[in-house]
Amino acid sequence: MVQFIDILILSNGPGELTTWVRPVVEALRKQLGDQTEKVRISLILSPCPHATGKEVAIAHSYPEIDRVQSSDCFWQFLLTGKTAENWDWFSQGVVVFLGGDQFFTVIAAKRLGYRSVIYAEWDARWWRWIDRFGAMNAKVIEGIPEQYSAKFQIVGDLMADVQLRQNQHQKLEFLSDPNIELIGLLPGSKPAKLAQGVPLTLAIAQYLNNKRPQTRFMIPVAPTLELSTLAQFANPQFNPILAQIGDFKATLHHANPPYFQLESGLKIYLCTETPAYGLLSQCRLCLTTIGANTAELGSLGVPMIVLLPTQQLDAMRAWDGIPGLLANLPLAGSLFAKTINWIVLKQGKRFAWPNIWAKTEIVPELVGKLDAKIVAEFTLDYLQNPEKLQQIRDRLIQVRGKPGAAEKLAKMVLEQVF
């Protein structure tokens, strides 16, 4: 029996941390049982265009992870094998890919002399040099040379594991009333999205509440976002886009739970516990921006309307590869972002993950200079016709995959060292 083992996880953005890393490290510790003290789990982050700067704090909040290194020091580790804090490494271990570039796994495993496992969501690369692959589905394996097929196992969709993690401690008392309908508002977590998303969703909520007083609203606050920062995007003194969407202001109240209060008296509750799956699963409908949140809602089977407002066409800058680099350049970045986004929108690309999975529109995507009243009327049509919501829910269940991928992937990882 090996005395001590290192598991090194490579990841990058906030979406991967919450939907991939978290369930996998939880599954690893659970399966280790009384041997957990013999295994050290480390996380090294690589640069990511979607990063918020709080990824290290998020990772440190996971008690299953022993050590975390920020993306600032990633290239030093990749080129020299040395971490910023000069970590020591046990003689046996495994490198696990959960976000970033799969080639990083090849290099890291070679430097440390460890086994290697890649979670392959859409494609699998470097199969000559990687020991095992956990594939999301059979499509990932198509085209793999026969001599490498034994390295692959279909584990399922890690995103689907959100179904297993719906415990929620933060309570909203009004949910005990069967006549109340809860609507989730997910305006994003980055300034570029929040500047448009917060005023738009708040204006929609006000209009809906005027038409349907039984509606209640909540925003699941991203762990990377302070309430005071979120509140700034609902204040016209800080967010000039408010004037383009509606003449209103929201005031932050630090109660239990905290909430925004509009001048009309409407309260928008703020869920600060993460993940907020328990509350989200009780929503009749969610209004959301694009991103990993659409995958989480889809995995929960929660109907959604996806909003991509273009009041500021340069707001979307989180593209991968060269487009992302150009869009984030100083000075010229805004021009590049506008051009790239204009081209992408003209192509009619799907942005919501359930629609990408199904290769057709399961959940509606509204793109353009969105008007709060028009979007609210569109939303009302779904609320007043529950069969439409049920149709979305049924189709989401069909494409979201079965839970259990984290347990299967964790077992694969541990098989490399035990």
Residues 7/96, Cβ–Cβ less than 8 Å: yes
Domain 173-399 is of which CATH architecture?
3-Layer(aba) Sandwich (3.40)
Alpha-carbon dihedral sign for residues 97, 99, 103, 107: negative
Give the Cα separation of 59 and 281 in Å (integer): 24
CATH topology of domain 5-156+402-415: Rossmann fold (3.40.50)
The model's confidence at residue 343, banded by pLDDT at 50, 70 and 90, is: low
Residue boundaries of the structural domains of the chain: 5-156+402-415, 173-399
Q: Is 142 exposed, middle or buried (0-12, 13-18, 19+ CB in 10 A)?
A: exposed
Of 142-156, 306-320, 372-386, 399-413, give the range with the top mean pLDDT. Answer: 372-386
> Which of 245-249, 258-262, 327-331, 366-370 has the weakest average pLDDT?
327-331
Q: Which residues pair with 10 in a beta bridge?
A: 44, 97
Q: Are 349 and 323 in contact (CB under 8 A)?
A: no
Choice between 404 and 163, residue whose per-residue pLDDT is larger? 404
Sign of CA dihedral 219, 223, 228, 232: negative
Q: What is the pTM of this model?
A: 0.73
pLDDT tens profile 89-115 = 999 999 999 999 999 999 999 999 999
More confident residue, 221 or 340: 221
Question: Mind listing the pLDDT tens digit for each residue in 127-185?
Answer: 999 999 999 988 899 889 989 999 999 998 888 776 666 555 566 777 788 889 999 99
**Is-same-fold flag (5-156+402-415; 173-399)?**
yes
